[in-house]
Structure 1
Amino acid sequence: MSIDQNNQVSEADQLAAMFNEIGAGHLTERMDIVITSATKEEIVATMPVAGNTQVYGLLHGGASVVLAETLGSLMAALHAGSDKQVVGVDINATHHRAAKEGLVTGTCRTLHVGRTLVVSEIVVADEAGRRVCTSRITCLVKE
């Protein structure tokens, strides 16, 4: 958490804390996804490999997609505003390499923000900064 010269917590940290609170009791909590920073430009979260693996001990591809959809949906919600709902309508993922241990970090940035659609790209990287997965999600903004 970052604190400025006036002992104020940054907006990015405040949003991250709010998103973590909203995720309590849901899939994000069960997968131990933690939002570390959130702005309209970028949302970042971590997720442990342990507990999110397939039978060979590698990070499950579906876990990477859950991380990506979580970040993309939060990004769309930030852009849509509190008076609208967002739902994912399309997601894809390319898995580049395996992760066997530690944390992976997902970084979400928008590709397009429109009146009814928000499209984001999420890069999931291992602790060495190597790309594990690239995902793209399209969310519909509803009244």
Structure 2
Amino acid sequence: MSDLPPADVNGMEWAARRGLGALADKMGIEFVEFTVDRCVATMPVEGNTQPVGLMHGGAYVVLGESLGSMAANLHAGHGRLAVGVDINATHTRSATSGIVTGVCTPVHLGRSVAVHEIAVSDEEGRRLSTIRITNMIRDL
């Protein structure tokens, strides 16, 4: 069983009710798509940059952790909680303006562990960062 409402309500509605948290809100992260198999969110570059004007690497990680943790909690279901235990990121390109998009897909969905990969790309579809997060799933 999951903590989703009846089958006629989708994951986007569950995610909207739950919210991403204060940090993600401050960074301008917005959901575009939300299912167990694929979660997508966007984030503006503006306001999330280093002093030299590049997207801050930590901002990519916040986007990735927000997506991966929410996806793991959707998978975990009712009466269970997914909490991050490991995250890593490889930044391969920089963004200086516009919107970045994170696409989160499961690598492993188990009873006690969920692993997700998040590919962050720019508006031209170029990959900027690859994030992998592992969440431990436990009973409440």
Q: Corresponding residue for 1:125?
A: 121
The correspondence of residues 74-93 of structure 1 with structure 2, limited to 5 A, is 74-93=70-89
Q: What is the identity, as a one-letter code, of the residue corresponding to 1:76?
A: A
The correspondence of residues 1-143 of structure 1 with structure 2, limited to 5 A, is 14-23=10-19, 26-143=22-139
**Percent identity of paired positions between Structure 1 and Structure 2:** 50
Deviation of 1:21 after TM superposition, in Å, equals 4.1
Indicate how the Cα distance of structure 1 residues 95 and 141 shifts in structure 2: closer, same or farther if over 3 A, else same.
Answer: same
* Distance in 2 (alpha carbons) for counterparts of 1:50 and 1:19: 24
The question of whether the paired residues in 2 share the 8 Å contact of 1:20 and 1:34 is answered with: no
Deviation of 1:26 after TM superposition, in Å, equals 1.1
How well do the aligned residues superpose, as a CA RMSD in angstroms?
1.5
Higher relative contact order (CA 8 A, sep 6+): 2
Cα deviation, 1:84-142, whole Å, max 9, x if unaligned, reads 01100000000000000000000000000111000000000000000000010000001
Deviation of 1:80 after TM superposition, in Å, equals 0.5
* Distance in 1 (alpha carbons) for counterparts of 2:50 and 2:107: 31
Indicate how the Cα distance of structure 1 residues 96 and 34 shifts in structure 2: closer, same or farther if over 3 A, else same.
Answer: same
Number of residue pairs matched? Answer: 132
* Distance in 2 (alpha carbons) for counterparts of 1:94 and 1:128: 19
**Which runs of 5 or more residues in structure 1 are unaligned?**
1-9
* Distance in 1 (alpha carbons) for counterparts of 2:34 and 2:40: 6
Deviation of 1:37 after TM superposition, in Å, equals 0.6
Deviation of 1:20 after TM superposition, in Å, equals 3.5
1:56 aligns to what SS in structure 2?
A: coil
TM-score (norm 1): 0.87
Moved more, 22-31 or 133-142: 22-31
